[in-house]
Amino acid sequence: MVIMYWLSCCHLPVDQELLSRMKNFCEVAVDVKTSSKMVEKANELLEMIDERVGRLNVFLLIYF
């Protein structure tokens, strides 16, 4: 998945707005529940997004 690749590659630029849109997409996917596999992957992505948000926040605290 594109989102998973984007989140797992720390060198790719990701800002707060993009992470928010990714999170919204995944939350909607979980709510729709079209398949158990989709819900599983969306939940994995939500965890990755939370990790990336944490790293972004640490970066912002250190450099700004």
What are the tens digits of pLDDT across the range 13-53? 888 898 899 999 999 999 998 899 999 999 999 999 998 88
**Which residues, 6 or more positions from 39, have their beta carbon under 8 angstroms from its beta carbon?**
29, 30, 33
Provide the pLDDT confidence category of residue 61 given band limits of 50, 70 and 90.
low
Provide the pLDDT confidence category of residue 1 given band limits of 50, 70 and 90.
low
Structure tokens at 4: 């998973």
H helices present in the chain, as ranges: 2-8, 16-32, 36-63
